[in-house]
Amino acid sequence: MKQNLQQKVSYHMDAAEFRRQGHAMVDWIANYYRRIESFPVLAQVAPGEVRAALPPEPPPQGESFETILEDFENLVLPGVTHWQSPNFFAFFPSNASGPSILGDLLSSGLGVQGMLWATSPACTELETLMLDWLVLALDLPKTFHSSGAGGGVIQDTASSATLCAMLAARERATNFQSNRRGISEKLCAYTSSQAHSSVEKAMQIAGMGRENLRLIDVDRNFAIDPGALKAAMKRDRESGWVPAFVCATLGTTSSNAIDPLPDIGPLCREQGAWLHVDAAMSGTAALCPEFRHIHDGIEYADSYCFNPHKWMFTNFDCDCFWVGDRGLLIRTFSVLPEYLRNQATESGAVIDYRDWQIPLGRRFRALKLWFVLRHYGVEGLQFHIREHVRLARLLASWIEHDSRFELAVPPPLNLVCFRLQGGEEPNQRLMDAINRSGELYLTHTRLNNRFTLRLCVGQTNTEERHVANAWKRIQAEASRLAA
């Protein structure tokens, strides 16, 4: 609204209005979490429905904030899938929390850019410190700590972390000539047939070609077969290819399989291949000593990432990415134009995170991580992670006791993969019926070419009763299908 106060014309929201609307927004969010179970988890709208309810043109004049919020509630919210619902068991959790939301709000309010140390020193230093805290909390190798040769950075997603790692691998393998002249070497990369699609996407982006990514066979638990990896590397080397990059996964998207780093690591060393470890969802489990075995062999990793925005109560985006040798990453990305030159950078005493990532600009994401780590403490995070794993195992035990169902694999952590006996069709029908009901939301994958249901426990507010209800609902649907 146009305001005319003391001769001053301005359309900006004034401080009093910001307080009033800000309080209202905080209350809206608090109420949203209170009533979240009253919404269908998966939005029930048809394609185009949300858009059709809104004007096709931007408003010529400003509108009141109340009107905007009213439209949000009535026209937009019905098209939202409720990822924060305790009945959301699809994909991965992407769990948020109060301290994280408020940390992100503070970041929005400050509106600082952390592209260089000099453009907001606290943004860089708090980020480095948070990544160092996590090295300690997850018991990661000392080389990843900023006091050593490596260090950590917040990326938007694990996809970007994989790409950054692959680019550094590409440059290391070509003595930084690909950056200069393009790629002339025959470089190839390896990951398991169960790895995330982001590895293939990164091959495309990096100009390495998806056909030069070898998808290695897996064992019966869907973890990479080190013998097959070794044979593939040998075959490539013999035919003139350079094995440049291996992406191992700790907790695959499909089934939460843990690739065996103690076997993969020495192969990478032998071949001079960069070992990147993607622990996007499951890395959080290493906060608990009893689950830390997933990191066995991590000392071989050239880079590692996990996503607090998946399973550590920190809202998107927040992927934590470490490298053992920061110099390689910086040489991969660094370009220094005149308008970014400054004394701090030239002194070499500071980190400029623009050289650790694809974009130049960056927001103050460390704040939400700092708020989460301090609010929960390591103890609090451990408590909730343990609880999620306990619930997943409880569900697995229920599945094992219903002969109509089978577990696809024993759940290593918080993801349960199972299916109804009888092939693809009843499982697809069961999933569709349940998701359409809006009572819960789960997704599927294919394991050994068999359609498999995935139920991932990890939403912030998921309790035993939600998992129990989900299982009852699934059983009831199975009965209905059988009838």
Closer Cβ to a copy of itself, 43 or 475, answer by number: 43
Burial of residue 273, with CB atoms counted within 10 A of its CB: 0-12 exposed, 13-18 middle, 19 or more buried? buried
Query: Minimum CB separation from a copy of itself for residue 293, in Å?
Result: 21
Q: Is 448 helix (H, G, I), strand (E, B) or coil?
A: coil
Query: Minimum CB separation from a copy of itself for residue 47, in Å?
Result: 4
| Residue 471 neighbours by CB under 8 Å, 6+ apart | 395, 398, 399
Closer Cβ to a copy of itself, 114 or 265, answer by number: 114
Of residues 105, 133, 258, the one with CA closest to residue 192: 258
Query: Minimum CB separation from a copy of itself for residue 269, in Å?
Result: 25
Query: Minimum CB separation from a copy of itself for residue 189, in Å?
Result: 11
Residue with tokens 């990896």: 229
What is the rounded distance in angstroms from the CA atom of residue 1 to the CA atom of residue 143? 54
Closer Cβ to a copy of itself, 179 or 475, answer by number: 179
- Check: CB of residue 189 under 8 Å from CB of residue 215: no
Closer Cβ to a copy of itself, 41 or 267, answer by number: 41
**Which residue type occupies 276?**
H
What is the rounded distance in angstroms from the CA atom of residue 28 to the CA atom of residue 85? 15
Query: Minimum CB separation from a copy of itself for residue 299, in Å?
Result: 21
What is the rounded distance in angstroms from the CA atom of residue 310 to the CA atom of residue 94? 4
Percentages helix, strand, coil for the chain (3-state, rounded to 5) are 50, 15, 35
Closer Cβ to a copy of itself, 86 or 260, answer by number: 86
163 CB neighbour count, 10 Å cutoff: 23
Closer Cβ to a copy of itself, 87 or 95, answer by number: 95
Query: Minimum CB separation from a copy of itself for residue 296, in Å?
Result: 22
